[in-house]
Amino acid sequence: MNYKNLNLSIIETHAHIYDEQFAEDRNEMLEKAFSNGISEIWMPNCNSETIDGMMALAGQFPEKCLPMIGLHPCYVKEDFEKELYIMEEWLGKHKFLAIGEIGMDLYWDKTFVNQQEQAFLTQCQLARKHNLWIDIHCRDAFWETVKLIEKNGDSELKGIFHCFSGGLEEAHKVIELGFLLGIGGVVTFKNGGIDKLIPEIDLKHIVLETDSPYLAPAPHRGKRNEPSYLTLVAQKIADLKQMSIEDAIRITTENALRLKG
């Protein structure tokens, strides 16, 4: 199905379309996404090295490819303060959608856990200062991230727990904090677990994402992911909620738009 024929606007809330995996066919990949009803692609930043590529796309497609700025926890090292200074410089000269992606990642390496905490808290302060929401990455660190948010009384912060992979208890905590659940290709995985969660959560708390080029949904699992596959995520959620694809897309798009204000 060509979802553009449904006259619906689909917002892709998390895609690294500046990634080198798209170097050879980036324009074709984007045209495919736009022709399938993707109206906006929200681009999370990783570190200072990814900014130029991201901003080039923002300049090429100013109404469709919207940049965030932030330091991904996997890129937090000894020099993280220098990286954050660069982020703050950019915030002073350009308009960004959000601070992201930021958070905690204790899956790959716990060497810089203290620095990750400091980087996260500093970037939360930047979000408040610039009146922006935050895009959270937390892998094997959900409750650690929640603790940091609660410890600092960040009730004003809003945003997305990107690539949400927790259970019902974690989902309810995200909702209690006033955040949205970013749901992507994992919902289509046979043993991903997210398919069991979706029927228990009101759709008003969910936004759609791919995390391209990672985590491609079935039947593309294991291959390069891309924003046009977001329709597969939407269809799976619609099936699980026993509703039309039109309603699933409309509600999740409205949720995303509310973040923009």
Binding-site sequence positions:
14, 16, 101, 137, 162, 211
CB-based contacts of 242: which residues, under 8 Å, 6+ apart? none
- Sequence-distant contacts of 83-87: CB under 8 A, at least 24 apart: 83/47, 83/48, 83/119, 84/119, 84/122, 84/123, 84/126, 86/48, 86/51, 87/45, 87/48, 87/123, 87/126
DSSP label at 217? P
Residue numbering of the annotated binding site for a divalent metal cation: 14, 16, 101, 137, 162, 211
Give DSSP secondary structure letters for 123-180.
HHHHHHHTT-EEEEEEES-HHHHHHHHHHTT-TT--EEETT----HHHHHHHHHTT-E
The dihedral of CA 105, 110, 112, 118: what is its sign?
positive
